[in-house]
A = this chain, B = another copy of it.
C-alpha cells in the first residue's frame, strides 16, 4: 500500500498555491518562498482506489495526510475480529495526527471511493515549523481543531437515542461539506449504512429505519447515498445540540 509511486496528477504539477483546499490546510498562513519550501516536501501520491488502504494498524508513522478528493474511513479491529469505525475523512481533513505520539498508526485508513491525498513527511514538517513561526502556529491550530472536532463527535455519540445520533451525524456531515464550499443541503454519503451504524453504535436496521422515518416525515430525502436535507430545523431539534451550527460556522480555521 505504501509503495505507491509519487505522480504528478493528470500530468500537471499540483502546487499548494493552486489547491482549492489551501485555506483549510497548512499553507494557509505562509506565502512566497516559504510556501515553496512546504510545497517541496509534500508528496502527492497516486490516487487510492475504493477499498485500498492508506495505512494499516501498527504501520510506522512518518507522515500525516490531507485528503484532496474522495474520502476515507478509519477503524480499529475489535476483539471479535470485527471493525469499529472511528471516523470519516472528507476533503481538506487531516489523517494520521493520532499517530505522532506513538510512532505507529493506531487505526486503519481505507478509501471509501477513489481518493487522492497529499502526504506530508512529519519530520520535515517539524523542521520547517521550527523555522517558520506561522507554520508552527497553523500546525498547532489544526491539531487543536482536530481535538475540537473529536469532542464534537463525542457529543454526538453521547446522545441516547438513535434519532438524535443519526440527525446529529447528518448535520455534522452537512456542515463539513459546507465548510469546504460544497452544498450543505444536498450531498452524497460515500460510506455504507453499515459504516454509519457501526460508527454510531447502532444496528444497520435501526439506521435504515431512521432514514425511512426521516424521509416519511419530510425532513430529508434519501435515495441510497444521495441525501437532501429538507428541514434543517427539525434535524437540529432532534439532534438536541444547541450550538452545533454556530460553532462550526464561526470556525475560522
Q: Which residues of A contact B (CB under 8 A)?
A: 76-80, 84-87, 97-102, 106-107, 126, 129-130, 133, 136-137, 139-148, 150-151, 153-155, 157-160, 198-203, 236-237, 240-243, 247, 250-253
Contact = CB atoms under 8 A, between A and B. Distances in A.
Given A79-B236, A102-B252, 16 more contacts: A77-B243, A78-B240, A85-B158, A100-B143, A100-B144, A102-B253, A106-B148, A106-B247, A126-B133, A126-B140, A140-B140, A146-B147, A150-B154, A158-B200, A158-B201, A159-B201
17 contacts: A79-B237, A79-B240, A80-B240, A84-B158, A86-B151, A86-B158, A87-B154, A99-B148, A100-B143, A101-B252, A102-B148, A102-B250, A102-B252, A106-B247, A147-B150, A154-B154, A158-B199
B240 A154 contact: no
From A139, A141, A147, A252, residue with most partner B Cβ within 10 Å: A147
B99 A160 contact: no
A6 B252 CA distance: 33
A247 B159 CA distance: 27
A87 B152 CA distance: 11
Contacts of A200: 158
Nearest to A236: B79
A241 B102 contact: no
Contact of A242 (B79, B160, B240): B79
Given A158-B200, A250-B102, A78 B136 contact: no
B241 A79 contact: yes
B201 A157 contact: yes
A185 to B, nearest CB: 21
Contacts of A151: 86-87, 98, 106-107, 150
Nearest to A79: B242
A17 B73 CA distance: 42
Contacts of A253: 101-102
A237 B78 CA distance: 11
A99 B102 CA distance: 24
Given A86-B155, A101-B251, A251-B102, A242 B140 contact: no
A136 B144 contact: no
Contact of A147 (B143, B159, B237, B241): B143
Nearest to A148: B98
A78 B242 contact: yes
B203 A160 contact: yes
